[in-house]
A and B are shown apart, each in its own frame.
Chain A
Amino acid sequence: MFVAEVSTGRIYPVDVSPVVAADYKILLKSRYAFDWKEEKNKEVYKLVLKGQTDILGLISIERIPDEWRIHIRLLSVSAENKGKNKHFENIVGNLIAFVAKIAVAEFGPLACISLKPKSSIAQHYIKKYKMRITGVTLSLEVPEIIDLINQYDHD
C-alpha cells in the first residue's frame, strides 16, 4: 500500500496496524477530528509511513458477522492531510481498502463494508470509492469491493 506526496508526486509505502494504548495519548481532537479515546474498546487502526510513527489517518470499525458486514464507525485523515494543502493523497483509500480486505477474508462473496456519512459528503464516497447508496447508508460489496482492494493493495 502506498500514499503519494502531493507536492512532489513521490510515493511512499505505508503500514496499517492496530492502534495501541500509548497512541491514544497523542490522538488529539485538534489533529484527528475526534476524541479517539471514546473508541478505546473498539477495533481501531492507524496508517503510518513504513518505518515511521507519525499517524496520518485513523479508522475504527465494528464487525457484524451476522450480516457479513463491517461498519466503519469513525474515519479521519490528520489535519495536515485535509483540504487543498494536504501533504499526502490516498490515506483514506488505503484505510478503506484495509477494512475491505478484512471483510473479504472473513465473508468472501458476501463481504460488505458500510459507512453512514452526513448527506453533504456522501457523494464524495459514491464518486471516489464507487460506494452504493441504500437509504442513507453507503456500502461497498462485490464486485466493487474487489476492485477497490486491487486499486490500493500493492506490494
Chain B
Amino acid sequence: MTMTNKQNIINTDPEFGVDSRYKSKKEREQDSIALMQARLERMKKIPKEQVIRAKLLQLKLQMEKYLKEPVYDKQNHFTKFLESYVDTIYVKRSEFAKDINITPVFLSQIINNHREPKEEFILKLMVHSEKVFKNVGEFPKTTWYQLYLHEKLSDTMASHAEWGPKIEKQVKLSALITN
C-alpha cells in the first residue's frame, strides 16, 4: 500500500461530508420510481404485527409532539388519541373494554366526550399501554396522565373568555399586597 492510499483511508470517514443531493430532475424522478416500485413490493410482505407496531409508534410520537407544543384549542385531543390507540390494537372496541374491565357503554361515553375519564380509567390505560408498548419501544408511564392534564389546562385557557368575567367578579383581595 502506498503512503497516499494509507493517508486516504485514514482521512476518509463515511460519516463526514455525505452529499446525497439529486443532481438533476431526471435523476430524481428515475430514483423515485425505482424506489417506490421496490417499496410497494416490500410493503406487501410486511407482517400485520409490524404495521401495528409502526402505527403505535406513530401515535406515541404524535402524543409527544402534542405535549411539547401546547395547543390551546377546544379539540378533545385526549379522546382522539384514545380512539386511535384502541382502534389500532382491537377490531372491536368492546374487546378493549373487556380487557380493562369496563363496560363498552362506559368506553363509548368517554370516547364520545359524554363522560370524563376517572382516575381509575387512566390508571388502567397506563398499565395496558405498558404491556402493549413492550414490543414497540419506550413509552413513559406518565403519558396518558400528562395528556389528560394538558388537555384540561388547554380547555381552561381556551375558554377563558367564558369563565373569566364571572370568576373575576367573585375574587377580591381583602388585603393589599405590596412589595
Contact = CB atoms under 8 A, between A and B. Distances in A.
Nearest to A110: B43
A139 B39 contact: yes
A149 interface: yes
Interface residues of B, number: 37
B102 interface: no
A155 to B, nearest CB: 7
Interface in B5-20: 10-20
Among B18, B136, B137, find the residue whose CB has the most chain A CB atoms closer than 10 A.
B18
B34 A67 contact: no
B57 interface: yes
Interface string B33-48: 0111011001100100
B15 A82 contact: yes
Contact of B137 (A77, A108, A153): A153
Interface of A, helix, strand, loop or mixed by DSSP: mixed
Interface stretch (A2-10, A18-26, A117-125): A117-125
Interface string B124-157: 0000000000001110100000000000000000
B123 interface: no
A76 B20 CA distance: 11
B136 to A, nearest CB: 8
Interface of B: 10-22, 31-32, 34-36, 38-39, 42-43, 46, 50-51, 53-55, 57-58, 61-62, 65, 136-138, 140
